[in-house]
Amino acid sequence: MNSVLKGVVTAAAIIAAAGAGVWAGQSGLVKLPLSPAATKIGHGVEATGPVIYYRDPDGKPFYSLAPRNTDGGASYVAVHASEDVSFEPKPKTQEAAAAPAGERKIKYYRNPMGLSDTSPVPKKDSMGMDYIAVYEGQDSDDASVKVSPGKIQRTGVETVAVTKRRLTRTVRAPGVVALDERRIAVVAPKFDGYVVKVGDVTTGTHVKAGDVLATVFGQAVLDQAARLLVEESSGWTRNNDAAFPPGFKGSSGVVGATRRLQNLGVPEEFMDQVKSSRRVPDTFTIRAPISGDVLERNWSDGQGFKTGDVGFRIADHSVVWMMADVAEGDIDAVKPGQAVAVTMRAHPGRIFKGTVAVIYPHLTKETRTAQVRIEMPNPDRALLPDMYGEVEIATSSDAPALIVPSSAVIDSGNRQVVLRDLGDGRYQPRDVKMGHRGDGVVELLSGVSEGDRVVVNGNFLIDAESNLQSALKSFQTPSTTEVNQ
């Protein structure tokens, strides 16, 4: 079984090497020999190893895995394993390359499949594969792993420095547009009467403050208007005690007609009209108290009404609320005053801006969410009540923290590890404790210091190439006594 396995491995290595050579030549990373005379390496050293592919004899970027000829009849040149491009570090001299491995001291043998068991003597695993020798200088006592520069270059390993800054995170939540409760006005008379005529107003009509809503009649209003004329004629309305008839003890004990009309909700223009014309009109006009859209119209011509009956309900849509349902795990990051961006299904591609106003002090137990009220300008009335939107709240931590990209952390669920770059191709796994996650970054509470460099790209490839699995499982070098046994 061992011989079959070695044959399969050899075949795979040849195919992979051929692919690497072809790729390297075509991409221009390496300039291959241009003539058959280049079948010697360096200073007259013959090419060694099996033929892994064939190249065009004229140096053109054409390659083949089998012998072939050019259109002109020239044979393709064989490229041996020793001639192919290699990213592995080479010895400076041929003497160093020929130095026997026996001169280096073997410390122990490790499992070829990456398991954590080691052996002080050569042995085979259950599949018949030889344990791999580990020489002095290839490992260290700090549980770090050594990766050759060639492997680092091929796997595209990238590192960044651990920085200390504020953690920014975008909290996303669904939301629904609602009316601003402070911008709703109700027209409800404070007296009994009936509607003479309703203005040109219907539900959904946009009105401006002062527009005519209805003309109404109310006996209580007429009575107080008549009293107002009497007071004006007798001088009761002057603000001094001498102006009051005998028997009165001053203005503090008198409620005049003007005050009664104000309490009935009669506008000032009606009282001015009574004073100037010196007569009591049969009706008076009710006008819109604010600018907005009519939500309700409950009156019709000739209809009677009682005190407190709602005739109109008007809402100002120039500013609306977005009620967002923020998840329980994100609510601690949301603060009043934070900027908000909202996208609406009704207006694709448009972003509406707002500000967090209020975080409601209760949680919805069914959804485990808290409501956040966002105030949003709506000058063109594009946002209508009950519209659905996607809310993005830009949050930031209160204090700076140690931040690394999320790709730097290898998270197995029970354990989080980063690979710290020690330099010279050596990497050390460090257990870390994670804090909050941000936009593509994560907060580290322990395990690293500011300025440490950690791997952000290629960490899993380092894990596979360098037997990191064994290092993460308390990889340790056998003691001297174990090696001598």
The CATH number of residue 287's host domain is: 2.40.50.100
- 312 close to 201: Cβ distance less than 8 angstroms: yes
Amino acid at 83: E
Please give the distance of CA 158 from its chain centroid, rounded to a whole number.
23
- Do 363 and 285 share a structural domain? no
Last residue of a domain, one of 356, 381, 396: 396
- Do 276 and 207 share a structural domain? yes
State the average pLDDT over residues 347-370: 94
* Domain annotation covers residue 10: yes
- Do 199 and 55 share a structural domain? no
Who has greater pLDDT, 465 or 481? 465
- Do 220 and 296 share a structural domain? yes
> What's the predicted TM-score (pTM) here?
0.59
- Do 232 and 280 share a structural domain? yes
- Do 445 and 416 share a structural domain? yes
Structural domain boundaries, residue 365: 171-180+316-396
**Backbone torsions φ then ψ of 415, nearest 5 degrees:** -145, 140
Distance CA 228, CA 240 (A): 17
State the average pLDDT over residues 428-453: 89
pLDDT for 139 equals 58
* Domain annotation covers residue 140: no
Question: What does the pLDDT look like over 189-220, one tens digit per residue?
Answer: 999 999 999 999 999 999 999 999 999 999 99
Last residue of a domain, one of 396, 411, 438: 396
* Domain annotation covers residue 484: no
The total domain count for the chain is: 4
State the average pLDDT over residues 337-352: 94
Last residue of a domain, one of 343, 374, 396: 396
Report the sign of the C-alpha dihedral through residues 24, 28, 31, 32, in that order. Answer: positive
pLDDT value at 18 more than 80: no
* Domain annotation covers residue 446: yes
* Domain annotation covers residue 128: no
pLDDT for 267 equals 84
* Domain annotation covers residue 405: yes
- Do 305 and 204 share a structural domain? yes
Which tokens hold the place of 436? 């909050």
The vertex-215 CA angle with 212 and 220, nearest 5°, equals: 130
- Do 276 and 196 share a structural domain? yes
* Domain annotation covers residue 480: no
Which tokens hold the place of 27? 């991409």
> Which own/partner contact pairs does 104-109 have at CB distance under 8 Å and 24+ positions apart?
104/135, 104/136, 104/137, 105/135, 105/136, 106/133, 106/134, 106/135, 107/134, 107/135, 107/136, 107/138, 107/139, 107/477, 107/478, 107/483, 108/134, 108/477, 108/478, 108/482, 108/483, 109/133, 109/134
Q: How far is CA 282 from CA 303, 304, 308, in A?
A: 16, 16, 21
pLDDT for 137 equals 61
Question: What does the pLDDT look like over 297-311, one tens digit per residue?
Answer: 999 999 999 999 999
- Do 331 and 245 share a structural domain? no
* Domain annotation covers residue 217: yes
Q: Which of 103-117, 204-218, 246-260 has the lowest mean pLDDT?
A: 246-260
| Per-chain mean pLDDT for the chain | 78
Q: What is the DSSP letter of 75?
A: B
Q: By 3-state DSSP, what share of the chain in percent is helix, strand and coil, each rounded to 5?
A: 25, 35, 40
- 198 close to 297: Cβ distance less than 8 angstroms: yes
- Do 392 and 404 share a structural domain? no
Question: What does the pLDDT look like over 377-427, one tens digit per residue?
Answer: 999 999 999 999 999 999 988 888 899 999 999 887 888 888 888 887 888
- Do 302 and 203 share a structural domain? yes
Nearest Cα residue to 77 out of 61, 105, 58: 58
- 303 close to 359: Cβ distance less than 8 angstroms: no
CATH (domain of 329): 2.40.30.170
- Do 340 and 296 share a structural domain? no
| 447 conformational bin, left if phi > 0, alpha if psi -120 to 50, beta if neither | left
Most confident of the ranges 112-126, 136-150, 349-363, 469-483: 349-363
